[in-house]
Amino acid sequence: MPSEHSYADLLDLNAWIRKNSDAFHWQCTARTVQESKLFPVNPYIAMSYLNAWYRYPSLFRKIEQTMTAEELGDRAREVSSASGIIQNGIISQFYLGGRQILIDMGMLKPTDALDDVAYVLDFTKRLNQSYHRNHAHILPSDANHRAQVLPERVVQVFQADSFTVKPGDRLHTAAGRFLAQLSQYEFLSHCECRLGINNSGPYRIGESSEMLVRDFVDLAEGDYPWLDGVASEISYNNYTMPVVLKDTHFNIVDDWASFEATPAYDHNNVTSIGLYTSDYLSDGYIPVAMDNPATLADFLEHERDVIARATSELWAVMAGWTREQLVDSGLLVYYGVAKDLAHIAGVYDQDDWMLVEERAQRFKPLMNDEYGRDLIAELVGYISLSSQQGNGYTMSKFSGAPGDMWSTIPYSVLADDEFSSTVGPIRSGSTSLPAKTSTWTTTQGRLPLDEVNRRARELNPLASQDRYRFLDDRWLKDHVGDLRADELYRHTQQRSRLLAGKGAGLTNADVEALRS
């Protein structure tokens, strides 16, 4: 019996699979080194892919019972959280990675779990199209590696309220030291991967300056049980630091939210900075210690010391872990890239996102360091697995190899080929890690999970309300005098030191004039 999916559906899904394949190959071979002296990185990556394969279909359907992928993307775009550029962009990659491993092992056919595959791919495509609405590309690599995610009204506030700094002054020095310590902590807390750090931009500021918006997420006590106690003194779960640099062009802000600049990023070229926090409960960005340069410097110096202590304590905790705990923590960070979508929808369950399902657990005995290394190298680097090979005349986009990373869906399911529909519901899971014991750190305080979910479900951010949701920058260009435009801009400006009450219609030059 033919599949109920149409030919047009499969054409679209296979094009999305191939886009993911090409983008991920470029990132994996040009932008990363997958190794660590502490964590078994490649084994935990492979395990995360398998956990994603078995669990994502049920979890995304659960989320969409409350909130659509499009609304999730709209909400994620307005704040900083663990639903940023890198997280949203690699959900489909991890899911397809689990599928490819199982196909290569002979445990799946490319026609298996057809309805699950179609749903997850459609979900992730809609999510990313919505999240990247402002530059109308589905991935930064489609925009020549630019990620101009934020609307004008948000960038204007960041530009207006940032404090001017010069090399050697107190705030400039405090910001550089804070960013260095924060980056070190994020890599450790995320099991030596980059998933805690996002960057968006560049945004043009005048003739010779550009803004990079730097996001650091999942810092405090929250979803990761290994941060309970260790991170209890960290003030906020997420930080956003807009930095403006002179004479620097960010020629790459990529699909993994990392960047390259010409000349190289130099803190001495930073001319102004700000600091904000936000999350799935905040309805926009909240300034942190932004009364004046001295209060911000005070905060950055104090918070750097707090984070330095947390880093030392976390090293001590992780040094005592077994190899299985090291694998479990890393795989849950990777697999959990979609977890904040559940937070935004108000349906987050710790067991959904912090357990390894029994069907994935079966593969753990295979995952010694050598097997994990070779599997990931062949899967995402060399593209040398037998299941990835095409005919001898094909040449893949970047490597020229006769194959591609992810297998497409055979069109034969539209005729008479056999297929299966789903992997079935989520089964029981387990973890070698200690259970979570603390509360969740949010912009509304430290809360138990039931309260976090309740407040998330009740939140109705202004920018997501029907009256304002579809007032994008293209519409605003032609409707500056519209009352709704003023209301939307004034809402974003409500916590701004310089722009409160200014409304729509300001230009980049107007903002600079107000600053001076």
Band of the pLDDT at 1, cuts 50, 70, 90? low
pLDDT recorded at residue 340? 98
Span 338-344, average pLDDT:
98
Band of the pLDDT at 400, cuts 50, 70, 90? confident
| pLDDT tens by residue, 275-332 | 999 999 999 999 999 999 999 999 999 999 999 999 999 999 999 999 999 999 999 9
- What span, in angstroms and rounded, lies between the C-alpha atoms of 511 and 516? 9
Span 160-176, average pLDDT:
97
Q: Name the helix (H) or strand (E) containing 239.
A: strand 239-246
Q: Which residue would you say has higher pLDDT here, 395 or 119?
A: 119
Please count the helices (runs of H) and the strands (runs of E) in the chain.
17, 13
Phi-psi region of 336 (alpha: psi -120 to 50; beta: other; left: phi over 0): alpha
pLDDT recorded at residue 468? 95
Span 264-285, average pLDDT:
97
Worst-scoring range by mean pLDDT, 162-176, 279-293, 399-413? Answer: 399-413
Burial 469-498 (b: 16+ CB within 10 A, else e): bebeeeebeeeeeeeebbbbbbbbbebbbe
| pLDDT tens by residue, 407-448 | 999 999 999 899 999 999 999 999 999 999 999 999 999 999
Span 235-254, average pLDDT:
97
Share of the chain above pLDDT 70, in %: 99
| pLDDT tens by residue, 30-89 | 866 666 778 999 999 999 999 999 999 999 999 999 999 999 999 999 999 999 999 999
- What span, in angstroms and rounded, lies between the C-alpha atoms of 268 and 266? 5
Given a cut of 90, whether residue 2 has pLDDT beyond it is: no
pLDDT recorded at residue 34? 62
Worst-scoring range by mean pLDDT, 25-34, 199-208, 213-222? Answer: 25-34
Span 22-30, average pLDDT:
90
Q: CA nearest 304: which of 443, 146, 466, 178?
A: 178
pLDDT recorded at residue 33? 60
Q: CA nearest 241: which of 203, 215, 268, 219?
A: 215
Tokens for 354? 């912090």
Contact 217, 190 (CB under 8 A): no
- What span, in angstroms and rounded, lies between the C-alpha atoms of 286 and 73? 20
pLDDT recorded at residue 407? 97
Query: Which amino acid, 260?
Result: E
SS (H, E, C) 350-383: HHHHCCEEHHHHCCHHHCCHHHHHHHHHHHHHHC
Q: Terminus-to-terminus CA distance in the chain, angstroms? A: 70
Tokens for 74? 């709209």
**Which residues, at least 6 apart from 362, have a Cβ–Cβ distance to it below 8 Å?**
none
| pLDDT tens by residue, 448-505 | 999 999 999 999 999 999 999 999 999 988 998 899 999 999 999 999 999 999 999 9
- What span, in angstroms and rounded, lies between the C-alpha atoms of 354 and 434? 11
Q: Name the helix (H) or strand (E) containing 35.
A: none
**Which residues, at least 6 apart from 409, have a Cβ–Cβ distance to it below 8 Å?**
10, 13, 14, 17, 110, 111, 114, 117, 118
